[in-house]
């Protein structure tokens, strides 16, 4: 059993280790290590197209994660106040949004956006006073909308788990002390669930930043970093691509570790008397 587990982990992580190793290759051949160098990191992040793709990914990931954190928290609070049957239905819907394949989400989002834009652009053209009305197309907003929707499910599930662990007693006690509903949320509920909200934001940022499939369908003329890497690989794997992949890997690990740290259960210390 130990040999089997070791073989599985080697199969999973040995290719990643090779990508990291060859990102420090001094030569141009990505499959032959000729010496240690960090020049490819410098070349990668002075590449104008790569920097633009990185900027696009950061903007999309931050905005979509922020929207997912806000609306996911609102959804989690609303679901917690529903009846048991309605709560079960919505929990199933949010769980389904997480496990649905990305290609299905991408195609469905593209069809929905094209349909909506087919209605919106004629309306804009009808009310626009000039002769050249603006047209709304695929771009930042479409990727942010798509990423925000499927990452909101992640935030909702994380915050829901935290809210379910709080119990109703502290909320009822706050009401007994004449606190308003908003005051109870601001002073009691929000501080308790804030680590889960931040953890959900970090995971949503990671999922959005690393996503290729959904962005490929709805990005329009915008290019994200995963899309740039995919296009570069089609021309051949170089140490520059390995350097980009290693940088994304390290950034994603830090975000995931931060989210894991925030989601850890807090151990309560006994009160000494």
Segment 120-147, tens digit of pLDDT: 878 877 777 767 777 777 878 888 888 8
Question: Which CA distances in Å does 14 have to 4, 11, 101, 170?
Answer: 15, 6, 26, 49
48 Cβ contact list (under 8 Å, min separation 6): none
* Residue 270 in this model has a pLDDT that exceeds 60: no
Q: What is the pLDDT of residue 70?
A: 92
Query: pLDDT tens digits, residue range 96-128?
Result: 778 888 888 888 888 888 888 888 878 877 777
Give me the pLDDT at residue 176, please.
60
- pLDDT value at residue 262: 67
The larger pLDDT score, comparing residue 233 to residue 159, is at: 159
When mean pLDDT is compared across 17-26, 174-183, 248-257, the lowest value belongs to: 174-183
Residue with token string 């990931």: 61
Superfamily of domain 48-263: MetI-like (1.10.3720.10)
As a whole number of angstroms, the distance between CA 123 and CA 111 comes to 19
- Are the C-beta atoms of 155 and 197 separated by less than 8 Å? yes
Examine the pLDDT at 253 and tell me if it is beyond 70.
Answer: yes
Identify the pLDDT of residue 71. Answer: 92
Q: For residue 117, what pLDDT is reported? A: 81
Q: To the nearest whole percent, how much of the chain has pLDDT over 90?
A: 4
pTM for this structure?
0.78
- pLDDT classification of 95: cutoffs 50, 70, 90: confident
Q: How confident is the model at residue 273 (pLDDT cuts 50, 70, 90)?
A: very low
Indicate the average pLDDT of the chain.
79
Tell me the average pLDDT across 147-165.
85
What pLDDT is recorded for position 178?
64
pLDDT at residue 65, rounded to an integer: 92
Structure tokens at 69: 């954190």
Whether residue 6 has pLDDT greater than 80: yes
pLDDT value of residue 69: 92
- Between the alpha carbon of residue 159 and those of residues 151, 163, 230, 253, the distances in Å are 13, 6, 34, 21
Query: Residue 67: pLDDT above 90?
Result: yes
The predicted pLDDT at position 168 comes to 66
The predicted-structure confidence for 259-268, as pLDDT tens digits, reads as follows: 777 666 655 4
């Amino acid at each position: 059993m130990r040999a089997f587990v070791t073989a599985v982990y080697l199969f999973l992580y040995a290719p990643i280790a090779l990508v990291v190793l060859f990102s420090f290759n001094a030569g141009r051949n990505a499959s032959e290590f000729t010496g240690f160098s960090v020049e490819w990191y410098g070349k990668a992040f002075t590449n104008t197209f790569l920097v633009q793709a990185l900027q696009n990914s950061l903007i999309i990931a931050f905005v979509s994660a922020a929207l997912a954190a806000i609306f996911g928290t609102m959804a989690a609070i609303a679901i917690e106040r529903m009846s048991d049957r309605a709560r079960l239905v919505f929990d199933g819907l949010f769980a389904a949004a997480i496990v649905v394949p990305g290609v299905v989400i991408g195609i469905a989002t593209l069809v929905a956006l094209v349909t909506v834009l087919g209605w919106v652009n004629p309306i804009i053209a009808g009310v626009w006073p000039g002769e050249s009305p603006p047209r709304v197309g695929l771009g930042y907003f479409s990727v942010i909308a798509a990423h925000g929707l499927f990452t909101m499910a992640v935030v909702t599930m994380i915050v829901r788990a935290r809210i379910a662990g709080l119990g109703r007693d502290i909320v009822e006690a706050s009401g007994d002390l004449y606190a308003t509903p908003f005051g109870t949320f601001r002073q009691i509920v929000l501080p308790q669930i804030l680590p889960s909200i931040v953890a959900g934001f970090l995971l949503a940022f990671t999922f959005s930043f690393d996503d290729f499939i959904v962005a490929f369908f709805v990005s329009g003329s915008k290019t994200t970093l995963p899309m740039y890497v995919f296009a570069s690989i089609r021309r051949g794997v170089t140490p520059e691509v390995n350097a980009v992949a290693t940088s994304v890997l390290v950034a994603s690990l830090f975000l995931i570790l931060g989210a894991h740290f925030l989601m850890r259960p807090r151990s309560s210390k006994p009160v000494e008397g």
